[in-house]
């Protein structure tokens, strides 16, 4: 092959070589500059250690020790940094079975901790004479450890494995804490159990009380649509009492209020005795047992049918494999009392409007105006909760399922269960209970939603919900410690939704007085049980 003439040859390689050399020269200059700066810095540090009369920022005896230990030039900071490195070498030395070196590091660490503690107690800075032997001693040990081939690569790998082990322990502790918190939230407190037992004793030994309860069931006030009707489904006597007491205490005309309470067979006698023995400003109170609803059976309700199936019981009562599943598998979500809200027209067939209240709410204003609100043909009046993106449909429902994605908008606004005004005439016209049954049947495999009654409520009342002013219902007092006081004060109803219920020791102390205000603490049974 014939070579080109010299004037036609490409000078690419020469230009590329010049560029490389230029970069190398720049790096060399930068390295030299860094070396000089580092050398000067080392001299300054040595001078600082040698000059006992220099103690930057620490000559004043009133100086804050926290400021000293945060200062990069203080002896306390130097000792603290060396201790951190020494603790890492203790672990590494033990893993390499160098127990002598580990003991020497531990001894120095204890002396450093003692000096830092004494300096903190006396409020004075650490002197050069105090710091020098410890700093020099730790420096020699660290050099000794490095000389024993505990190099930086070994240190990094060892510490990485320990960090992973710590993360696993933290995860396990978090799971355990969540499980214990869930158990504490679900368990019936000793005081409430005590109250139930005393009230049940009264009910069983008082035939007169039982006769009066039967007579109240035939009161014409229970079906009078000129009065204001409220329904509460609960097995908690004190909580239900607080809801009723707060409602009548803030009503303009409490004698026009009618409360329909449904509880389970175990609590029925205690609930009857409590509301028979206590006055609630002349309001009418009806107590029923869910066991008396013979129509609520497996042939009518898909939920009742599912609860009898082994798969459903295993889902809710089995051991969760994932931390996130703990709250989803709470057995309270299978409680018929919790799902009774979808059967209100069946329970009260002659009523036209009713306000539904959860047992963990407190009423602060007159709720009778709710009955006269125009719902514009809708069934459910509720406060929307989508001021933050968390409360939109896609957070509650599985939109990867075509049954959900084809019928609903993932960005649709969620709303609150706990204080709702229901138009029962519109409910029957829209056949809302049948819609609820449909969605329960679609979710037999628990893939459409997992948590509580709100997801099926969002589906059931989709397109049938009228947004209310948010001041009607403020949520979060059972988990959020940062709610604005002005928002709470302006609320008609405050809701302790979450695990930190006001009757539990888990309660948020800031909000608990809102609930205790309506607790009849003068009742002898309450006094006895709260002391026990």
Task: Provide the b/e sequence for 460-489 (b: ≥16 CB within 10 Å).
Answer: bbeebbbebebebbbbbbbeeeebeeeebe
pLDDT of residue 454: 92
**Nearest of 18, 36, 16 to residue 26 by alpha carbon:** 18
State the angle between helix axes of 128-147 and 99-122 in degrees (0 to 180), rounded to the nearest 10: 160
pLDDT of residue 22: 58
pLDDT of residue 509: 93
Dump pLDDT digits (tens) for 410-424. 999 999 999 999 999
pLDDT of residue 134: 84
Radius of gyration of the chain (CA): 36
**Nearest of 466, 378, 373 to residue 430 by alpha carbon:** 378
pLDDT of residue 318: 62
Could you tell me the sign of the dihedral formed by the alpha carbons of 495, 500, 503, 508, in that order?
negative
pLDDT of residue 56: 35
**Nearest of 89, 218, 95, 103 to residue 142 by alpha carbon:** 89
CB contact at 8 A, 362 and 514 = yes
Dump pLDDT digits (tens) for 127-137. 888 888 888 88
Place of tokens 């799902």: 339
CA angle 478, 484, 490 (to 5 degrees): 95
CB contact at 8 A, 358 and 496 = no
Q: What Cα–Cα distance (Å) separates residue 141 from each residue in 94, 106, 401, 446, 454?
A: 15, 11, 62, 60, 62
| CA 40/CA 43 separation, integer angstroms | 5
For residue 349, the surrounding DSSP H or E stretch is none
CB contact at 8 A, 243 and 520 = no
Counting as low any pLDDT under 50, the low residues of the chain are 1-16, 36-38, 41-42, 44-45, 48-63, 65, 69, 323, 328
pTM of the model: 0.68
pLDDT of residue 150: 61
The residues that bridge with 507 in the sheet, in sequence order, are none
pLDDT of residue 158: 66
| CA 341/CA 336 separation, integer angstroms | 9
| DSSP class per residue in 277-290 | HS--TT-EEEEEEG
| DSSP class per residue in 60-75 | STT--HHHHHH-TTSH
Q: Which two tokens stand for residue 347?
A: 């329970």
Tell me the pairing of strands 493-495 and 257-263. Answer: unpaired
**Nearest of 437, 427, 433, 395 to residue 413 by alpha carbon:** 395
The residues that bridge with 13 in the sheet, in sequence order, are none
| CA 309/CA 501 separation, integer angstroms | 31
| CA 174/CA 181 separation, integer angstroms | 10
Q: What Cα–Cα distance (Å) separates residue 197 from each residue in 191, 273, 367, 401, 472?
A: 10, 11, 33, 47, 36
Dump pLDDT digits (tens) for 74-84. 788 888 887 87
Q: Which two tokens stand for residue 442?
A: 């679609």
pLDDT of residue 321: 53
For residue 503, the surrounding DSSP H or E stretch is none
pLDDT of residue 35: 53
CA within 13 Å, CB half, 523: 19
pLDDT of residue 204: 93
CB contact at 8 A, 277 and 262 = no
**Nearest of 496, 500, 495, 503 to residue 193 by alpha carbon:** 503
The DSSP symbol for 400 reads T
The DSSP symbol for 125 reads P
First to last CA, the chain: 107
């Amino acid at each position: 092959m014939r070579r080109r003439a010299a004037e036609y040859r490409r000078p690419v390689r020469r230009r590329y070589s010049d560029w490389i050399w230029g970069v190398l020269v720049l790096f060399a200059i930068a390295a030299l500059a860094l070396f000089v700066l580092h050398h000067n810095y080392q001299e300054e540090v040595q001078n600082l250690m040698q000059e006992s009369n220099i103690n930057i920022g620490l000559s004043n005896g009133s100086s804050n020790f926290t400021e000293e230990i945060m200062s990069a030039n203080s002896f306390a900071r130097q000792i603290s940094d060396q201790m951190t490195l020494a603790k890492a070498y203790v672990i590494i030395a033990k893993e390499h079975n160098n127990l002598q070196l580990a003991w020497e590091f531990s001894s120095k660490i204890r002396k450093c901790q003692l000096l830092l503690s004494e300096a903190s107690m006396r409020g004075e800075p650490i002197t050069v004479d105090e710091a020098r032997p410890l700093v020099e001693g730790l420096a020699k040990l660290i050099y000794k450890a490095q000389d024993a081939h505990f190099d930086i690569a070994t240190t990094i790998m060892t510490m990485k494995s320990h960090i992973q082990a710590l993360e696993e322990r933290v995860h396990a502790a978090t799971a355990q804490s969540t499980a214990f918190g869930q158990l504490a939230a679900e368990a019936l407190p000793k005081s409430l159990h005590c109250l139930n037992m005393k009230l049940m004793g009264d009910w069983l030994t008082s035939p007169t009380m039982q006769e009066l309860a039967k007579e109240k069931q035939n009161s014409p006030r229970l079906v009078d649509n000129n009065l204001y009707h409220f329904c509460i489904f609960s097995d908690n006597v004190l909580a239900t009492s607080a809801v009723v007491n707060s409602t009548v205490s803030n009503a303009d005309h409490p004698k026009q209020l009618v409360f329909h309470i449904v509880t389970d067979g175990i609590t029925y006698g205690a609930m009857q005795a409590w509301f028979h023995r206590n006055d609630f400003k002349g309001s009418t109170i009806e107590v029923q047992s869910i066991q008396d609803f013979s129509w609520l059976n497996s042939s009518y309700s898909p939920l009742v049918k599912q609860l009898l199936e082994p798969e459903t019981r295993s889902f809710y009562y089995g051991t969760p494999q994932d931390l996130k599943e703990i709250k989803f598998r709470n057995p309270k979500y299978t409680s018929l009392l919790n799902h009774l809200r979808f059967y209100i027209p069946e329970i009260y067939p002659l009523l036209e409007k009713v306000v539904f209240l959860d047992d963990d709410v407190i009423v602060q204003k007159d709720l009778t105006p709710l009955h006269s609100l125009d719902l514009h043909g809708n069934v459910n009046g509720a406060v929307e909760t989508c001021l933050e993106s968390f409360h939109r449909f896609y957070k509650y429902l599985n939109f990867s399922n075509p049954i959900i994605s084809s019928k609903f908008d993932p960005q649709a606004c969620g709303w609150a269960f706990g204080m709702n005004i229901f138009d029962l005439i519109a409910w029957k016209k829209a056949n809302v209970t049948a819609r609820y049954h449909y969605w329960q049947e679609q979710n037999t495999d628990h893939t459409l939603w997992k948590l509580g009654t709100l997801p099926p409520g969002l589906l059931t009342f989709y397109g049938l919900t009228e947004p209310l002013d948010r001041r009607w219902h403020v949520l979060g007092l059972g988990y959020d410690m940062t709610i604005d006081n002005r928002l709470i004060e302006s609320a008609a109803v405050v809701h302790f939704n979450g695990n930190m219920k006001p009757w539990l020791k888990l309660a948020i102390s800031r909000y608990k007085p809102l609930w205790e205000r309506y607790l009849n603490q003068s009742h002898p049974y309450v006094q006895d049980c709260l002391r026990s």
